[in-house]
Amino acid sequence: MPVYVDQLSRQVNIISSPLRIVSLVPSQTELLFDLGAGNRVVGVTKFCIHPAEAIATTTIVGGTKQIKHDVIKALQPDLIIANKEENTKEDLELLMQHYPVWISDIKNLNDVFSMIANVGEIIGRENEAKKLNLEIKKGAAILAEKATSFKTGKRVAYFIWYKPWMVAANDTFIHSMLELCGWQNVFDTRQRYPAIEIEELIKLNPEIILLSSEPFLSKQNT
């Protein structure tokens, strides 16, 4: 059985081209379909809404942080794809006792390229993964070139949650993408995803506030 190294530097024994995959990460569910392995995905979370067929025709195994272990057991997966931030440590440690669990950890585009290449290798879709990475690199280069033409970057705040209010700060993928766009994250002196007070936001006075549409739909009166 081949041994693969995930993005937490863990060695994971996975059968060649697994046929029963459970994805606990919305973005990686979409990736599996993009790479042509959607027919092998037997379980996803309720937040895996892209592509539409992922949630319409596949068993729902709960939320990213409220996993239904009995449902996963009934699916008998030969691979579970998870993420360090999306899923809880407790859930992943329990799943590791019974199934091969490959965990991603994404902080920047280089991590994305590595993750796509690794998943492509695991599922036998190396060529498709290379093509996708090339497309993303071309798009990122165009975006970076446009960003350099801006005279001044916008000062922005990116919210990921409320009750409490939480933002994407430094050392996150969101922060790296804001930088690529030529924008300045007003919370760049903080780390990861801190809870903040509205008074702090008012003091920093960002020009643009970005509200995540998932896992909740942001409303103007929120």
pLDDT tens digits, one per residue of 159-197: 998 889 999 999 999 999 999 888 999 999 999 999 999
In tens, the pLDDT along 4-24 reads 999 999 999 999 899 999 999
Q: Which CATH superfamily hosts domain 3-135?
A: Nitrogenase molybdenum iron protein domain (3.40.50.1980)
Query: Are 72 and 95 within 8 A, CB to CB?
Result: yes
Looking at residue 181, its pLDDT comes to 87
**pTM above threshold 0.85:** yes
Q: Give the chain's residues under pLDDT 70.
A: 149-152, 214-222
Amino acid at residue number 77: P
Q: Do domains 3-135 and 155-211 have the same CATH topology?
A: yes
- The CATH number of 155-211 is 3.40.50.1980
**Residue 51 token pair:** 């592509």
Domain residue ranges in the chain: 3-135, 155-211
